Chain A
């Protein structure tokens, strides 16, 4: 059977890895290539790179960094941030990305998912959604979690999967950066509506949080950033602990 996946996420700005807490107060952590190598050696199953650069120069720098990572690290790489067109898909896929994650680009133009899935296959298109509770429902937020789009999250997930998204990253703004555990309630609600792999994001603080996460068999992967970057949780130790708890992992 396929294993549960542990995925460190690296936010990259101007060629450097950063991580915000609740998307604010961004702090520089390390060099992307060194970090990628570190995580590969530690047993990460996949790496996610988010390009949070706004400028054209920064974007070119990101592409260079990605190429460098992909020429040295031989595990699946997912790339997101600033993906607004199939040309953007093409740009990062040529640099060694295996999957491309869309967020705001899909909110502006949902058809981007369909176009990309037709060209590169469903397995290549990852929908990343930032979700927050508003007035008793789950809402999609844009602009790094600052703007309520008014879109209901569960039907959005369903719609995007129907358009061709092959995987979902569900990031709970409510639990992100708090380190009190993943948003199990939100994840379960999404998992009930779609049948593509779900990557949980937001809220991991300790090993037990991942054990609880995988108690729901519909969740395929756990994604985190700062707890891995600051080595509060070591990936190898995390995976050994998961295995001890009867959860199949790659070691």
Chain B
């Protein structure tokens, strides 16, 4: 069973529908006992980092989440949920994250502008289908079982993870390499929306369920 952590951020309809579609038993919850009982946990999220982190704290779920992650249970953060896994975010100030994966969340538009040239002209948010490239040496990671090289996934975001080199499993090119999938042992993040990425996304969710 997968527990989707509901801490009042974003819409969970598509995510829970996609898991149902895959015949995965799912519970949408904000209770510790459900996290304990679940085989896997998904941390969703859309919106602003600071607000999401605040709501997560208010839900009382930070400690249980960290406890479950420390116990080795597979945890998947999606979109803003992935960003929360990192050390800190520089989205409108500096905010502390869950610290489960080393790295910082930074402004995509600032970094693209700093690059200059064509990158500086790219639109932010980064919205749309982008090709997901597996980082060389990680082709055998179980999450990529059945993954067809050259497949696209659907992104919607304005901030991105950086200084997280070690944990990167796959990137998408948008003027700079955007970390698409990161993983540190049992803790994994996807910057794109697997629940909106068609068959490719469903397959990634299905592989996560089999970890």
Chain B CB within 10 A, most for which of A1, A2, A74, A123? A74
Query: Are the CB atoms of B129 and A74 closer together than 8 Å?
Result: no
Q: Is B11 an interface residue (CB 8 A)?
A: yes
Query: Number of B residues whose C-beta is below 8 Å from A?
Result: 29
Contact B198 A74 (CB under 8 A): yes
> Closest residue to B48 on the A side, CB-wise?
A121
Which of the segments B13-21, B57-65, B67-75, B91-99 contacts the partner chain?
B13-21
With contacts A1-B130, A74-B21, A74-B195 taken as known, whether A123 is within 8 angstroms of B125 at the C-beta atoms is: yes
Q: Judging by beta carbons under 8 Å apart, are A98 and B152 in contact?
A: no
Cβ-based interface call for A220 (8 A): yes
Known contacts A96-B13, A98-B14; A74 and B123 CB within 8 A of each other: no
- Counted as pairs of residues, one from A and one from B, with CB atoms less than 8 Å apart, the total is 75
A70–B72 Cα gap in the complex (Å)?
33
The reply to whether B21 and A122 form a contact with Cβ atoms under 8 Å apart is: no
Given known contacts A40-B198, A250-B152, is B13 in contact with A70 (CB within 8 Å)? yes
Contact present for B21 and A3 (CB under 8 Å): no
A121 touches B47 (CB 8 A): yes
Collect the chain B residues with CB atoms within 8 Å of residue A67's CB. 13
B 157-206 contacts with A by CB, 8 A: 173-174, 195-198, 201-202
> CB < 8 Å: which of B20, B46, B125, B128 contacts A3?
B128
**Chain A residues closer than 8 Å to B1, beta-carbon distance:** none
**B17 and A123 within 8 A (CB):** no
Q: Is the CB of B198 within 8 A of A75?
A: yes
Mask: chain B, 127-171; 1 = CB below 8 Å from A; 0 = not: 111110000000000000000000010111000000000000000
Q: Cβ of B126 < 8 Å from any Cβ of A?
A: yes
Q: Which of chain A's residues 61-118 have a Cβ closer than 8 Å to chain B?
A: 67, 70-72, 74-76, 93-96, 98
Q: A167 in the interface, Cβ–Cβ < 8 Å?
A: yes
The 7 A-B residue pairs whose C-beta atoms are closest, nearest first, are A2-B128, A250-B152, A71-B17, A250-B129, A96-B13, A3-B129, A2-B130
- Please list 9 pairs of residues, one from A and one from B, whose beta carbons are closer than 8 Å in the complex, sorted by A's number: A2-B130, A45-B129, A70-B14, A74-B196, A94-B13, A96-B13, A121-B46, A123-B125, A197-B128
Q: A74-B21, A76-B196 are known contacts; what are 8 more A-B pairs with Cβ within 8 Å?
A: A2-B127, A2-B174, A40-B198, A70-B14, A74-B198, A94-B13, A167-B127, A250-B129
